[in-house]
Structure 1
Amino acid sequence: MRQIIIDCDPGHDDAIAILLALAHPDELKILGMTTVGGNQVLDKITDNALKLLSYVDAPIPLAKGAAGPLLGKLVTGEEAHGETGMDGPILPSSRYKPLDVHAVEFMLNLIRNAEGKVTLVPLAPLTNIALLLTAYPEVKDKIDCISLMGGGIGEGNVTATAEFNIYVDPEAAQIVYQSGIPIVMSGLDVTNRAQIHAVEIEELKRRGKASVLVGELLDFYSIYSKVLGYDGSALHDPCAVAWLLKPEIFRSEAYHVEVETKGDLTRGMTVADRRKKPTQEANVRVLLDVDRDAFIRMITEALDVLDRRLAATN
């Protein structure tokens, strides 16, 4: 069983990734969750995370982290995620509260006290992770890998060259990418292929409590996908969790990847050395493609597990 810490900024696709992890307790032990300013400001996305956990009766300990990037001001994803950061369904107030400890200290204690190594699963700007690795570099030896959603070696979304999570805090991302910890990158190269279609979204809304929630989330989230020209709605963040569960449904390559922090046109770009004879060793496994049908089946099966679990307790 993998022991994981989820760092997130819910966020519609964050919510689905969290639900996917919660549906697999025999394979993924969620030690805790942390939040970071990203899709919306810190207080809003923390409230979203706590509401989600309360909705599915999952008392996972959660700590708030950095409100903004290492340098400059926070750029949010409000155009995609709305004023609340998770517009669409109206969730009841949470029964849970965040811990009275900063996310960095919380992660440090979880990693130090864990039996065996821990996997970090960042679904947001990498500010919290960079702060952890900078302040406490000794924890690197207890981190098995970092399975993150971010970047793209072939395309961007917030700019022509940069994906949102990396663009928000490229300095933090470069620290993480240079950390020496094995990284699995679910970037736009693969996540834009992990699309759920309108007919599949409608089917979710005819099922149980967790499935209906996801269907309603995707109703809102798919609006921005259409603005970007996609027929379906890309499930970005769930890819980082799905790889932990079924890496065989993905195609990937190992590259040396660094993050551009200075270019006027390329700030936040994840630059992969794809030459036949690169000058530096690979530091990132970049996911490039996914068996979409198998991926969507994994999502719907996970929601079915949660639907049955919630029906049994309500």
Structure 2
Amino acid sequence: MSFSPVPVWLDCDPGHDDAFAIALAVKSLELKVLGVSIIHGNDTVAHCALNAKRFMWACGIQGVSVFPGVSRPLVRDAKYCPEIHGVHGKDGVAGMCGFNFPDEEIFADQTNLPSVQNGVLKMVEIVSTYPEKVTIVATGAQTNLAMAIRLFPTVKDNISKIVFMGGAIGLGNTGVAAEFNMEIDPEAAHVVFHSGIPLVMVPLEVTHSVLVTPEVLATIARIDAFSPSSFEEKTCNIGQDLGKRLQIECDEIYKRIKDINNKELTDGEESNLKIPECSSNFAKCCVELLTFFRSTYKNVFSFDSPPLHDPCAVFYCINPQSFKTVNVFLDVELSGEKCTGRTLCDLHGLSKKEPNATVCYSLDVDKFWEKMFSCLKISNEKSPLNKK
């Protein structure tokens, strides 16, 4: 039987975790990435587009174009996340600090620059004309998707589903009740949720189980030696039951609150994690990016190890059998005084509305890391960083 990769379009805002999502998508044989559109979020569209091309260059990725999309939410002012992803300066580039990329070398080749074509228009053009239905993977705000759906509604006919990282079954992260991607453009999410396109939500309850632990960093530091038998987190049974997953999430939030109360965390606090020695320049790039990400997550959210959110949505497209899911009616709060952007998962059918989304609540973490490491190992073999 012949193998046919799933055609996907990636919409993202790199961002540390978005960068690893791109690597996972492009380096997986199970997927065929048709293009990448950039959305506002972790930083400006201009910065995020350059970050995408920087990390793609580091991974030896060629032939996948990056198209800058909409630069602000549908009706609100733009909001970014420098407290997590950094600002331009000695620590690196805006939106993806931690490693100083050789920009002069990268962008001396004009083919490494983002396209001048608009991301929404290019997404519509390629998705609409592709001979198969396309899966959209969205790991940022959903403004590009909402614009495409509203301006070119027939594009929906050739979209298989939208798999997105964002939202939460329970509480969010950056807002009192909302997750960041939903909080910064809830109106766009509302358009997407009510579009009639099949939806798959990969919320915080899933991504908070995929942590960049010291063991993960050590494996990436020696990525050239990775084999599936060399790493096992033994976490694949976490949250196999929905109630258990939500209880675990609540317990983790309570623990972090206690940590914050018991210890004053200051901006710029040094991490006590020893950075492992790396076997290649590409491994050093990945480890330094994730170590910066770890330090900011520790200072802002009191996570000992940061969650690698966005690749989880890509992994769903690769191996949906590794997820536990529930079908629900999904909506987003638009006008609440305190809860704007909160995703509303009708777990008990109280709205009496037909389910419009598959919501993930658990993931086989070991299988995720096995695939992520395998793709990073392939990237390491192709990386121009290792030629220095």
Both proteins in one fold, TM over 0.5? yes
> Does residue 1:225 correspond to 2:225, yes or no?
no
How far apart, CA to CA, are the structure 2 residues paired with 1:61 and 1:203? 30
Residue 369 of structure 2, aligned match among 281, 296, 307: 296
- Cα offset, 1:235, TM superposition: 0.8
Of the three residues 56, 64, 71, the one matched with 1:67 is 71
Give the structure with higher Rg (CA). Answer: 2
Q: TM-score, normalised by structure 2?
A: 0.77
State whether residues 142 and 185 of structure 2, in contact with CA within 8 Å, keep that contact through their aligned partners in structure 1: yes
Are residues 1:306 and 2:379 paired? yes
- Checking the alignment, whether the CA contact within 8 Å between 1:210 and 1:303 is kept in structure 2 is no
Q: Residues 118 and 144 of structure 1 are in contact (CA less than 8 Å); yes or no, is this contact kept in structure 2?
A: yes
Deviation at 1:57, TM superposition (A): 2.7
TM-score normalised by L of structure 1 = 0.95
1:92 has 2:108 as partner? no
* Partners of 2:190 and 2:351 in 1: CA distance: 19
The offset of 1:56, in angstroms, is: 2.2
Query: For residues 67-126 of structure 1, what are the alpha-carbon distances to aligned partners after superposition, in whole Å with 9 as ceiling and x for unaligned?
Result: 110112111011110011000011122331222221111011101221111111111110
The residue number in structure 1 matching 2:187 is 171
Percent pairwise identity: 33
Distance 1:57 1:230 in 2: 31
CA-based RMSD of the aligned residues comes to 1.7
Using the TM superposition, name which of 84-93 and 286-295 deviates more. 286-295
Structure 1, gaps ≥5 residues long: none
1:38 is aligned with what amino acid? G
Deviations 1:149-201 (A, max 9, x none): 11011120011310001111000011001111111111111111111212321
Matched AA of 2:78:
L
- After TM superposition, what 4+ stretches of structure 1 lie above 4 angstroms from structure 2? none
Between the aligned partners of 1:276 and 1:259, the Cα distance in structure 2 is 16
Write the letter of the residue equivalent to 2:60.
D
Matching residue of 2:42: 39
Q: Secondary structure at the match of 1:111?
A: helix
Aligned CA distance change for structure 1 residues 274 and 303 (closer, same or farther; 3 Å) = same
**Alignment of 1:51 onto 2:61:** no
Deviates more, 1:92-101 or 1:102-111: 92-101
Q: How does 1:57-206 map to 2 (within 5 A)?
A: 57-59=60-62, 60-83=64-87, 84-93=94-103, 94=106, 95=109, 96-206=112-222
Deviates more, 1:259-268 or 1:277-286: 277-286
Count of residues in Structure 1 that have an aligned counterpart in Structure 2: 313
Among 283, 287, 295, the alignment partner of 1:215 is 287
Given the superposition, is the C-alpha separation of residues 195 and 137 from structure 1 closer, same or farther in structure 2, using an over 3 Å criterion?
same
Report how far residue 47 of structure 1 moved. 1.0
